[in-house]
Chains A and B, each alone.
Chain A
């Protein structure tokens, strides 16, 4: 039988479920689920979404941990013709409200243990949205919340997926921006299918692989582990996080995990554990790093821990999923490089004036390929800053605004960001977003947030604050107020209370001077 083309993101699920229904698709915290089960549950939930008014193109928010219902939800939304957006479970009420409003989400899929957050947000929305919640339902409080298990039991499987086409949106991926409010990166089925296949190609993956995911599915790096696994008909070993490392390692051994995707903070923890007691995972054949640069001196130790693994250094941004990767055989020959464009795409460096930059000189990285986003949801102004006219009529190339150098052989070297986004534990933190929260605290007159180097975190978030005279605020109270509104990783690790902040000639706070102070 001729294989049907996989144009849509969920076509991979159909193909894998037809080919190997009894194979384990996902192991969630030790519990295996087959492809048949994933397909059946996703189709039931898709039917339920339809019954609750979700139509082609509607956004559906998935505010969940890395759980089985979260995996089912992603595919259910696609089967129902919807656009999924996975929201980090650490998100606090104000930001959840912002994202629900910004995306015009028609329905919320969530976990009971997050009720403390979403139950405070739902009554604030003028346009009530349907809620399906896994786990033990919270008391109703006037907001109708349905049980995920009941909904699945009472809905027959959707017979046929809603006929989306490859140009339709598949996902909005919210990401922090330098303006403070998160932005929804619009990705179509076409671009996501392309990106997944390009990644599978250079990572040299097959259906025999077992991929680990300890990163949140709200983070595209985590999400694509799921998308690649399902597309291949491989197995995903999904964990909530790397917090309880011994439990994760046990699971890696138990399930003979072959692919280990991490960020530098995770690798730093592994190396430090390895220093105390030797670690070795012979089953791992791929180790991947992105989100922040992997220090070159980690590599020899990583080879001790993963003796059979190809080590991939990569770079990317949500706006195109991934930009480049270094062939693992070149890790020693090209230290510091993040390689070349991923298969099927190209990159080039331009000067601020838009002129090509000679080899060895610093330029702004531009990306061309089918993986480039459509733009930011409802933000044409911000989209125009990132997407520039390309060579062909109507074409858009992505201007990353990041500074790179390219050697004579075309290998890329990261030089620096042109915005002041902080990267901590591989997560993006917008200083403006943190400053907005600080400015909202009574008693704080001025605040400035910067990233300072940290061995484990990459960068740590540091806030400098000037207090109004006579306020009773202290470090702890400020941090508590931040924690109520910001994801944990955004809460400043250091809070420095100072009498004044250095200013530029035009009266703006000089972050450069602050950073020099810390150097």
Chain B
């Protein structure tokens, strides 16, 4: 499964409680759509660290890294390459 599919599945399952792919577009702002909040983002990060073996630093907690599916995928790829 691609990074995108895995992250999408996580968000649908744990933040939207849905199995309908149409509820989340790749460039939807998670904050604007009310999908994520300050505790949700911590759970998401925990998932990313476990799933992809990356380490997220506090300073990386910015919208450019997490506020859409696209941003998250890019961030994970960048971290994996850096490893």
Which A residues fall within an 8 A CB radius of B?
65, 89-90, 113, 240-247, 250, 265-266, 269, 273, 276-277, 425, 456-457, 476-477, 479-480, 483, 488-489
Contact = CB atoms under 8 A, between A and B. Distances in A.
Interface of B: 13, 16-18, 29, 31-34, 36-42, 57-63, 66-67
A479 B41 CA distance: 18
B61 A245 contact: yes
Most chain-A CB neighbours within 10 Å: which of B36, B58, B62?
B58
B55 to A, nearest CB: 11
A115 B47 CA distance: 31
B22 to A, nearest CB: 12
Contacts of B33: 113
A113 B68 CA distance: 14
B37 A243 contact: yes
Given A241-B38, A476-B13, A246 B59 contact: yes
Contacts of A456: 39
A244 B17 contact: no
Q: Is the interface of B mostly helix, strand, loop or mixed?
A: loop
Given A65-B32, A113-B32, A244 B63 contact: yes
A355 to B, nearest CB: 43
Contacts of A480: 16-18
Nearest to A276: B58
Contact of A488 (B32, B34, B62): B34
Contact of B38 (A89, A242, A476, A477): A242
A321 to B, nearest CB: 24
18 contacts: A89-B34, A113-B29, A243-B40, A243-B41, A244-B31, A244-B66, A246-B62, A247-B61, A250-B62, A265-B39, A277-B57, A425-B38, A477-B17, A480-B17, A480-B18, A483-B16, A488-B40, A489-B37
Given A241-B31, A246-B59, 20 more contacts: A243-B31, A244-B41, A244-B61, A244-B67, A245-B38, A245-B61, A246-B58, A246-B60, A247-B62, A250-B62, A265-B39, A277-B57, A425-B38, A425-B39, A476-B13, A480-B16, A480-B18, A483-B16, A488-B34, A488-B40
B17 A476 contact: yes
Contacts of B36: 243
A442 to B, nearest CB: 17
Nearest to A456: B39
A457 B67 CA distance: 22
Nearest to B67: A244
B17 A243 contact: no
A65 B33 CA distance: 11
A215 to B, nearest CB: 11
B13 A273 contact: no
Q: Which 9 A-B pairs have the closest CB atoms?
A: A480-B17, A246-B61, A479-B17, A247-B62, A113-B32, A242-B38, A243-B38, A273-B58, A244-B63
B37 to A, nearest CB: 6
A246 B13 CA distance: 26
A243 B36 CA distance: 8
A266 B16 contact: no
A517 to B, nearest CB: 25
Given A246-B62, A247-B63, A276-B58, A90 B34 contact: yes
Contacts of B63: 244, 247
A483 B57 CA distance: 30
A35 B41 CA distance: 34
B56 to A, nearest CB: 10
